[in-house]
């Protein structure tokens, strides 16, 4: 059962409920985030937002990403050798496989790995607050 991306208005309603002002700029950015399935960086979000409202500044994009991140509405991923990339939160937890040739990101999930991580941390006397698991790979050529 696939969870569908929340719509723009769901985001806005939820943020308003938390006392966040919905400005024209934030609305545009939220729309972009809720409609995409990829993992754009701040500059890419800025480009897409600019197409819709040329007056939006890159600062505002950065500030909005920070705000949304702090509120838990989006996740920020600092993959190797590039700027942070974002995705809307709300789906299930997952990790990432990054295509080192194209930069494409594939999401995956392994209950078993999560479980092993917990066991390892426990054995070392720690509670995991969060983790980062990224696989960097190259598409296997058939043949």
Partner DNA sequence: GTCCAGTTGACAGCCAGTTGCAAAACAAAG
Partner DNA sequence: CTTTGTTTTGCAACTGGCTGTCAACTGGAC
- Among 5, 8, 40, 62, the residue binding DNA under the rule CB under 7 A is 62
- With CB under 8 A as the contact rule, which of the stretches 1-9, 26-34, 45-53, 112-120 interacts with a copy of itself? 112-120
Contacts 24+ apart (CB under 8 A), 11-18: 11/73, 11/88, 14/73, 15/71, 15/73, 18/71
Using CB under 7 A as the binding rule, the residues of this chain from 6 to 35 that contact DNA are 16, 20-26
75's contact among DNA, a copy of itself, none, with CB below 5 to 8 A by partner kind, is: none
Q: Binding to a copy of itself by residue 21, rule CB under 8 A?
A: no
Rounded Cα distance, 117 and 34, in Å? 31
Q: Binding to a copy of itself by residue 131, rule CB under 8 A?
A: yes
Tokens of 136: 């960097």
User: Which of 109, 105, 89 minimizes the C-alpha distance to 11?
Assistant: 89
Q: Binding to a copy of itself by residue 103, rule CB under 8 A?
A: no
With residue 108 as reference, give the H or E element that holds it: strand 105-108
Indicate the residue among 47 and 117 with the shorter CB distance to DNA.
47
Rounded Cα distance, 68 and 88, in Å? 9
Using CB under 8 A as the binding rule, the residues of this chain from 23 to 82 that contact a copy of itself are 78, 80
Using CB under 8 A, list all residues that contact a copy of itself.
78, 80, 97, 99-100, 106, 108, 110, 112-113, 116-117, 120-122, 124-140
């Amino acid at each position: 059962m696939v969870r569908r991306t929340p719509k723009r208005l769901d985001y806005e309603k939820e943020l308003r409920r938390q006392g966040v002002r919905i400005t024209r700029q934030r609305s545009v950015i939220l729309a972009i985030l809720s409609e995409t399935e990829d993992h754009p960086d701040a500059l890419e979000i800025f480009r897409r937002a600019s197409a819709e409202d040329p007056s939006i500044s890159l600062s505002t994009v950065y500030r909005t990403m920070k705000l949304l991140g702090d509120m838990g509405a989006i996740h920020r991923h600092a993959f190797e050798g590039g700027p942070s990339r974002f995705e809307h939160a709300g789906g299930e937890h997952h990790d990432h496989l990054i295509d080192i040739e194209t930069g494409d990101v594939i999401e995956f999930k392994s209950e078993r790995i999560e479980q092993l991580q917990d066991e390892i941390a426990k054995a070392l006397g720690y509670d995991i607050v969060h983790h980062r698991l990224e696989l960097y790979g190259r598409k296997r050529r058939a043949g």
